[in-house]
Every structure is written in structure tokens, then in C-alpha cells.
Amino acid sequence: MIRWLLPSLALISAPAAAQPEPIAAHEGWGAFREGQKCYAIALAEPSQLARQRQPFASISAGPGNQRLTLRLSRTLARDAVITLDVGNRRFRLTGGGDTAWSGGDRTSSDREVVAAIRSRDTMTVGARDLNGHYFRDSYRLEGAPTAIDAAIVACR
């Protein structure tokens, strides 16, 4: 699985001109370096529901400053409420189009979200799409702490 994961994640996460350097892979999560930027990234779990695109989660890994960014499987409805369930914790995210992220006004802090990701087994993001249908993208988190740490160390 790791053999196809790293190239797949690198292709979906980077512009055509950039060539991310793989740092590490663990339990479905990969760590990459792209110039001065480092990040941990994973694809969402497979789903039987219709998707407009392959969703993925990315955690930027600057020293002392990690932020979750999600590419969603569907385009968000205008003014959609985006919730992130990490284990038994619920967070509100900011977003628009096909992207959601931690931080931002009236939402949970980056630090709280990343701390929850490091300590839980699963996370699910949910919202309404442009057609008013509720959708969810789910992730396994077993490899997230190791990938985040590898990305942080690589960009020190």
C-alpha cells in the first residue's frame, strides 16, 4: 500500500512544476517536503457514495504552527457549516469551494485540532454540498502523529 500511496499523495497535493520530496510514510499517512514547506498528508477512506474528487487531509508542519487543511469530496454549499469529528471531539472548520481548514474566525484553533488528531484513531468531516446533500469524508489517524513529527523535523 505504501508503494502507491506516496506517489499518489504527491501528485494530488502539488502543482505540476513542484516535485515534493518524500520524507516518511506510516499507516496510510505520508510526510513530504516541498522547498521550505513540509506537511503530512493522507487520502480519505474509500466510500460507496458519489464523489466529485478524491478527498485528502494535509497538516502543514511549520515549527510550532500546524494547520489542518482538507480537500473535500464535494463542493460546499454557500454558508455551509463544516464539522470535524475527531474521536469524541467536535470542531467547527472554516471553508469554501472544495476546501476546509482549521483556525479562522469563530472556529476551533489549529492547535486544538492537531492535538486531537494526534490522540485519536479516526476523524470525519461533514457538511452540505451545493445540492443540499450532506456528505462525509473519513480518515484513519494511526499514522498521523508519526507523519506530522517527520514533517516537523524535516523543516526545522
User: pTM for the whole thing?
Assistant: 0.86
Q: Which residues contact 110 (CB under 8 A, 6 or more apart)?
A: 65, 66, 67, 68, 102, 103
Q: What is the pLDDT of residues 36-82, one digit of tens each?
A: 899 999 999 999 988 999 999 999 997 668 999 999 999 999 999 99
Q: What is the pLDDT of residues 118-152, one digit of tens each?
A: 999 999 999 999 999 999 999 999 999 999 999 99
* 146, 27 Cβ separation under 8 angstroms: yes
* 135, 53 Cβ separation under 8 angstroms: no
| CATH number for domain 2-154, candidates 3.40.50.720, 2.60.40.1880, 3.40.50.2300, 1.10.3720.10 | 2.60.40.1880
